[in-house]
């Protein structure tokens, strides 16, 4: 009589031995080997750049390419993967494939993004012509709204105006050219140029036809909220500061003081004729509603007030008056740090007045 259990047991044992020995036979899979510490086969995008022309003639087109640079030194044309933008679509348009079309004279920054951002500055002007730029100043201050005109040479008739920082740029000038600078209330300035390439004009100095009003001395400055600022705390409706003004020509400095300010604040101002212009500045925190204000007052009940904006005063009368375009911002400060915004009001017509 055959012992079935014994036969089955021996058969199973032999099968197990065969499987075990087969694992080391020819063609059998091997266990994976862990990579050495620090080793990696993955390429990493280290940087990116845009290839394309530095200038395009109006009406022309050009293909821009977005190129990734990897950590191993290799590159990849990823133009079709990128998201394309133009900082000035009225000057230079760019489509989804990086093809740019020049619309009008000027300058634009082409941007592309796929993993890493990249930018490329491009001029739009006729071949053989160039960009002329510079800054218009008065007594060390930039002058806004000065008309800059090419009155002779290639580009004759081109015109632009200075920005708030006094900067101007004209595109499409060449050869012997003349620039004219003009603004109401100022002495016109003429400047000859020899333009054989891009030209940066040294600071252009302008002066008023008649001396600016002298605001030197002590004043009381009052800023009252716009009628549209309903719901703001009552004690913020009107704020006053002692002001001492020192002035050299068109360049003035206002020193603001108050029992609610931690220390006096000095503000730069520009005097044009009878007008007095200055800015109560703020640097906003990108990630919150907080900011660093020139004028930052301590209020009662664990609160603080930040006032910011651009102020324009007309001094034609004995008491200069005007408006502020900006905001009143009330914050909670229960301890040494600001914890949250309570109320804010932005308006273009906050009332401003100065009295002796």
Q: Are residues 184 and 61 in the same domain?
A: no
Q: What is the pLDDT of residue 287?
A: 55
Mention every residue, 6+ apart, whose C-beta is less than 8 A from residue 242. 218, 219, 220, 221, 256, 257, 258
Let me know if residue 36 belongs to a domain: no
CA dihedral for 54, 58, 63, 64, sign (positive or negative): positive
Cβ neighbours for 289, distance < 8 A, ≥ 6 positions apart: 329, 341, 344
8 Å CB contact between 329 and 304: no
Q: Are residues 191 and 226 in the same domain?
A: no
Q: What CATH number should be reported for the domain holding residue 73? A: 2.60.40.1080
Residue 99 in domain: yes
Asked if 212 and 186 count as a contact pair (C-beta separation under 8 A), the reply is: no
Q: Is 183 domain-assigned?
A: yes
Write down which residue in 175, 205, 235 finishes a domain.
Answer: 205
90 located within any domain: yes
Same domain for 178 and 240?
Answer: no
The three-point CA angle 346-351-353 to 5° equals: 140
342 and 261 both lie in a single domain: yes
Distance (Å, rounded) from C-alpha 203 to C-alpha 133? 10
Domain final residue pick, 107, 124, 141: 124
Specify whether 160 is located in the same domain as 241: no
Q: How many domains does the chain have?
A: 3
Could you tell me if residue 2 is inside a domain? no
Q: Is the dihedral of CA 205, 208, 214, 220 positive or negative?
A: negative
Q: Which domain holds residue 146?
A: 130-205
Overall pTM > 0.75: no
Answer whether residue 192 is part of any domain: yes
For residues 96 and 59, membership in a common domain is answered with yes
Domain match, 298 and 176 both: no
Q: Is 254 contained in some domain? A: yes
Domain C-terminal end among 124, 150, 177: 124
Do 228 and 316 fall within a single domain? yes
pLDDT, averaged per 10 consecutive residues of the chain (356 residues), comes to 38 38 45 46 87 96 96 93 96 96 96 94 95 94 94 95 94 96 94 94 91 92 95 94 94 94 92 92 69 89 94 88 95 88 95 95
For residue 7, tell me if it sits in a domain: no
Q: Do 261 and 299 reside in the same domain of the chain?
A: yes
pLDDT at position 317:
79
């Amino acid at each position: 009589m055959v012992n079935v259990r014994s036969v089955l047991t021996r058969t199973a044992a032999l099968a197990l031995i065969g499987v075990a020995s087969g694992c080391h036979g020819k063609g059998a899979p091997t266990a994976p080997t862990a990579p050495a510490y620090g080793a990696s086969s993955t390429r990493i995008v280290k940087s990116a750049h845009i290839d394309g022309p530095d200038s395009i003639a109006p009406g022309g087109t050009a293909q821009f390419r977005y190129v990734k640079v990897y950590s191993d030194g290799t590159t990849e044309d990823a133009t079709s993967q990128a998201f394309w933008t133009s900082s000035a679509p009225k000057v230079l348009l760019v489509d989804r494939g990086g093809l740019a079309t020049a619309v009008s004279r000027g300058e634009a920054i082409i941007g592309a993004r796929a993993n890493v951002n990249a930018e490329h500055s491009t001029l739009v002007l006729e071949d053989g012509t160039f960009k002329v730029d510079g800054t218009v100043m008065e007594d060390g201050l930039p002058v806004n709204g000065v008309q800059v005109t090419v009155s002779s040479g290639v580009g004759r008739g081109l015109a632009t105006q200075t920005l708030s920082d006094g900067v101007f740029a004209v595109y499409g000038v060449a050869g012997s050219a003349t620039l004219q600078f003009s603004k109401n209330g100022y002495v016109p300035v003429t400047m000859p140029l020899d333009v054989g390439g891009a030209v940066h004009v040294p600071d252009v100095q302008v002066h008023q036809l008649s001396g600016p009003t002298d605001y030197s001395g002590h004043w009381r400055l009052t800023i009252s909220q716009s009628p549209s600022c309903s719901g703001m705390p009552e004690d913020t409706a009107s704020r006053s500061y002692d002001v001492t003004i020192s002035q050299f020509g068109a360049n003035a400095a206002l020193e603001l003081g108050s029992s609610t300010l931690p220390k006096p604040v000095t503000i730069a101002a520009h005097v044009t004729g009878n007008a007095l212009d200055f800015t109560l500045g703020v640097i906003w925190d990108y990630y919150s509603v907080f900011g660093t204000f020139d004028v930052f007052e301590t209020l009662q009940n664990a609160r603080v007030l930040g006032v910011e904006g651009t102020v324009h005063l007309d001094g034609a009368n004995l008491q200069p008056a005007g408006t502020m375009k900006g905001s009143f911002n009330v914050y909670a400060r229960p301890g040494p740090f600001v914890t949250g915004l309570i109320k804010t009001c932005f308006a273009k017509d906050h009332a401003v007045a100065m009295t002796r």
